[in-house]
A and B are shown apart, each in its own frame.
Chain A
């Protein structure tokens, strides 16, 4: 029980993520600052602690383009963000994460933004839009001036630059014709000059140009393999400098780019700059009195970056020998290297952020943050020590499974004894004795450890979970969470502590891939390792690949999955097993041919025997077609039923079956008069949700179809009129719960459908879809729900005895555990004796949200997208994982912990009472005997 006690303290944990980093800036205004500010593709702006990698504060904006962060500029304590394609300009205080000011900008698509400084102080922000440029005060966001750009119909303005000399330059280009440069006065927005220079080779300024030194625009041209220089201050021609003349060569077919740095917006950029000459080739150059001088060649080099501290600027180069080189700009060379090991299961590095700082002896020290393709941030300190890593891929979990942990070595030994084939009586006895000895040994070791640990204070006893000491606990509460993320990185996370135990990055995942994770073999079949299969399907082409791995260790399996040359329509995991206890995966291709994995002889033989009872269905939502197929013995298929829902009227939005691992404990419900109402428990039932194509609020509707997946029989067909999606649906046991938006009453409503066979069961021993002629009784009731919802799931327990709850993810980040009892179509409108007997709650149209039903208390889960439930070894307990931007894991007890003793259970009292009673019986028995003897003597 001590285990449980400790568990309860750490029962729920949340991990916060920010998403793939788009912009990152180190806080530079205080020398000893520990912050890095990140703006991400998930529309999150956050501050991370550089010592631990934890989130200081985080602002989650709207999803989609509305909250898209276009630019992040940092100066001193202020971080200026352009949000929503130039819709909003915001300034944040980076210390506390408070909003300084926010203003709405004029419409127009955002191009670029920069700080504008004068006399060494930065006072303004310039924002360049498609047809206008505006200047705002940094202190309060007020607009100083806004000017329309000349000839904005033909010229594409792409960049804005200021060198601190009282002028703001906007750089525009007419592709393959000329560059237009307009200089505005900072004071009143007056056009000081406007020049136009021929540049027929240029199409995009931001991609190939940069301003270097005292206002020198340098562009790279891949066609002529040369650099072009243009002084912004004097109207002139572009000077062409062939790279050949500098002794440089560009990799064939590569578009060279120019990287410069401007540490202080009030001053012009540094005169040193990088030119990328190839995928792994950089050259550091210097602009010296109008002449370009080659400083140093870096090959191989993956990434380069500049960083400034005080008056010193350093350039960092990341070379593929797993090291970061450092080059200090200026006269002196400071070459230090920092070697660190990249995760072999990670992706290639993508971005490099350097934090430079002055050491006590005035030399420059630095730390590096590396972003890799798999959205991982790694923070490295100088002697190559990795301080922290953040797996930002986990902000986008697509699908997950929970896998039981393996048994300990000794348990496995015992299991192995049963697993092996019997080979003689004597050897069996010996084997049994040896395994018993091992068990005894393990038990003594355990006792010793308990005794040893008991002397230490509790806080010192730490159970660090590593992949070596993973083992199943008594109640199977600790499991391995296998998570698949959109970036193609797989994670194995221990559910108890939340530590990432393994990670595996799958490269070349298509960007629009759909994933399906299946557990082919659980940990129950020692000595066969557990096996998971991930189906990765390109949504456009339908082509799929399989990744087979061990869910406990994350290693790729030695089994080679079959090559799938044809697009895959459907995949199904059969409960059939091959001789190695791996479940059979069937894949249906676009020729309606079926292939099996694993496809051993044994499996094919089993499939042939079973073929006529293997049915599957396909859904083509573009044509509104649902069709059923049957497997033939030669692994071809035949279509046996077809339902077509005309797409002119409604479209299929989701099709949901029941979870295959669900148990239903009772087949019926006892009514008030002691009769039984039997549930209609069809394991093949599909709930199909349709939405009307007509979105007018009077005519829109949501349709619910219950179809048997084997026979295609429409069991029930209902329409919810004046309703609209998005529809969230849970389908379990004999009920379907869905939530929709009522356009008539402008509110969210829940509806529940329950199916009953009636007072008699047609065939109580077995359910066959082919032999259930009577349609079930369908009961339905609806309720008002006072909040919109993000996701919906039902709890799941080992044997299905515990009452069910619905887990509702709310947009506020709370997760509501709503008893299914409240969603019961048999709730009576008028209370009668019988309904009271049955414990039915009287009907009330509004569903309450009670704050004590929130299972995550104050730990909100941002943008919750999915909830995963898994049974544990305790019937009362269901494991819950909510994922979205954050990941949250907890346990729920829908019927309280009826099978667990309380923490304060008094063992001493109970055992002493037992002993006392025992002795009292003994004594009284003795006394009674004596008395009897005495009486006999009399």
Chain B
């Protein structure tokens, strides 16, 4: 593996980041000191029975059915382990539907009793809840072309998953040609405050909001609109008679005043003997 073109680019990434400046004794300018905070969370284990739920993307309610026959299904897998070594198991099935506006729906199982216990244990040690989906090419015609090697992975903190009562927002991102390039998961609310989840029912059913996003088209310079506006402005100026007045029409009183003033001054002081000098 190699780092990119800008050879040694590296950006350290930090989870917690205070915007305030740490106090510096010596009056010298230095880069901001970052402070860190780690929250420790404790959770309580709860048990629940299982149920089946189906969840669609929320944007297009009717799509779930269409997708059944024209779309194709890929597994959505998750992993949460106390020792943080990823062991992915199936969480549900994503049904992807290609087309002009790709859509996605998800059918997923409930968390088993064992899983719930484990999730809480993982949350207690501030472990991660990871998900992954296989790389797929949405626009391919045949099933064999769709699947590609490798997975796209994402994570949230397990405690956030527990505290949000399994309400997560999963977004799948495609590129311009329909390749799945990334997956992201956030929970809502996203914070780990250490609140205890008492009710077992809360950790049973995933409350997933799902979406698939293609890149938006970045706007180019808006020349047409600008020109239109310019033309309108010109027209407005043309219609307005006040702007069209000529120089004399606008300032006739000034010119008249100036002329009268000149005449008055010249009549008061008649030129002293032009004739005499001529002779």
Interface string of B240-259 (1 = CB under 8 A from A): 00000000000000000000
**Can you give 20 A-B contacts (C-beta < 8 A)?**
A515-B8, A524-B26, A610-B36, A616-B12, A621-B4, A621-B5, A628-B13, A654-B4, A655-B6, A683-B17, A712-B182, A713-B154, A714-B171, A714-B213, A717-B213, A749-B221, A765-B18, A766-B19, A768-B17, A780-B219
A interface, CB within 8 angstroms of B = 404, 415, 418, 476, 514-516, 522-526, 535, 537, 539, 542, 569-575, 586, 590, 610, 612-622, 625, 628, 632, 638-646, 649-650, 652-658, 660-661, 663-664, 667, 681, 683-684, 686, 701, 703-704, 707, 709-714, 716-721, 742, 745, 749, 751, 763, 765-773, 780-784, 798, 829-830, 843-846, 871, 873
In the complex where A610-B36, A717-B216 touch, is A845 in contact with B177 (Cβ < 8 A)? no
The stretch from B90-98, B109-117, B186-194 touching chain A is: B186-194
Cβ-closest chain A residue relative to B164: A773
CB–CB A404/B28 < 8 A: yes
Chain A residues within 8 Å of B126, by CB: 612
B interface, CB within 8 angstroms of A = 1-19, 24-26, 28-34, 36-38, 84, 126, 128, 130, 135, 137, 148, 150-157, 160, 169, 171, 173, 175-177, 179, 181-182, 184, 186-192, 213-223, 225-226, 229
In the complex where A650-B175, A711-B155 touch, is A769 in contact with B13 (Cβ < 8 A)? yes
Chain A residues within 8 Å of B160, by CB: 770-771
A767 to B179, CA, bound (A): 32
Cβ-closest chain A residue relative to B153: A642
- 17 additional contacts, CB 8 Å, given A404-B28, A711-B156, A783-B221? A525-B26, A613-B15, A615-B15, A618-B3, A625-B1, A628-B13, A644-B135, A649-B177, A654-B5, A654-B6, A660-B11, A661-B31, A667-B19, A769-B13, A771-B160, A773-B188, A871-B29
- Partner of A782 from the list B148, B175, B214, B218 (CB cut-off 8 Å) is B218
- Partner of B16 from the list A618, A620, A768 (CB cut-off 8 Å) is A768
Tell me the smallest distance from the CB of B177 to a CB of chain A, in Å. Answer: 5
Chain B residues within 8 Å of A612, by CB: 38, 126
A763 to B18, CA, bound (A): 11
Cβ-closest chain A residue relative to B228: A829
CB–CB B190/A773 < 8 A: yes
A245 to B14, CA, bound (A): 75
Chain B residues within 8 Å of A625, by CB: 1
CB–CB A773/B189 < 8 A: yes
Cβ-closest chain B residue relative to A577: B33
A516 to B8, CA, bound (A): 6
Chain A residues within 8 Å of B192, by CB: 771
Chain B residues within 8 Å of A709, by CB: 11, 13
A783 to B84, CA, bound (A): 48
Tell me the smallest distance from the CB of A511 to a CB of chain B, in Å. Answer: 14
Chain B residues within 8 Å of A515, by CB: 8
Tell me the smallest distance from the CB of A516 to a CB of chain B, in Å. Answer: 4
CB–CB B222/A719 < 8 A: no
Chain B residues within 8 Å of A767, by CB: 16-17, 19
Chain A residues within 8 Å of B5, by CB: 621, 652-654
Tell me the smallest distance from the CB of B209 to a CB of chain A, in Å. Answer: 10
A783 to B220, CA, bound (A): 7
Chain B residues within 8 Å of A745, by CB: 220
A418 to B184, CA, bound (A): 49
CB–CB B176/A701 < 8 A: yes
CB–CB B218/A719 < 8 A: yes
Tell me the smallest distance from the CB of B152 to a CB of chain A, in Å. Answer: 6
CB–CB A714/B182 < 8 A: yes
Tell me the smallest distance from the CB of A21 to a CB of chain B, in Å. Answer: 28
CB–CB B226/A845 < 8 A: yes
CB–CB A719/B128 < 8 A: no
Chain A residues within 8 Å of B179, by CB: 645-646, 649
Cβ-closest chain B residue relative to A414: B26
Tell me the smallest distance from the CB of B29 to a CB of chain A, in Å. Answer: 6
CB–CB A640/B11 < 8 A: no
A745 to B15, CA, bound (A): 43
CB–CB A642/B222 < 8 A: no
- Partner of A710 from the list B14, B33, B221, B226 (CB cut-off 8 Å) is B14
A277 to B19, CA, bound (A): 68
A535 to B3, CA, bound (A): 14
In the complex where A663-B32, A718-B218, A768-B16 touch, is A643 in contact with B7 (Cβ < 8 A)? no
In the complex where A569-B1, A643-B152, A798-B29 touch, is A771 in contact with B182 (Cβ < 8 A)? no
Chain A residues within 8 Å of B3, by CB: 569-570, 618-620
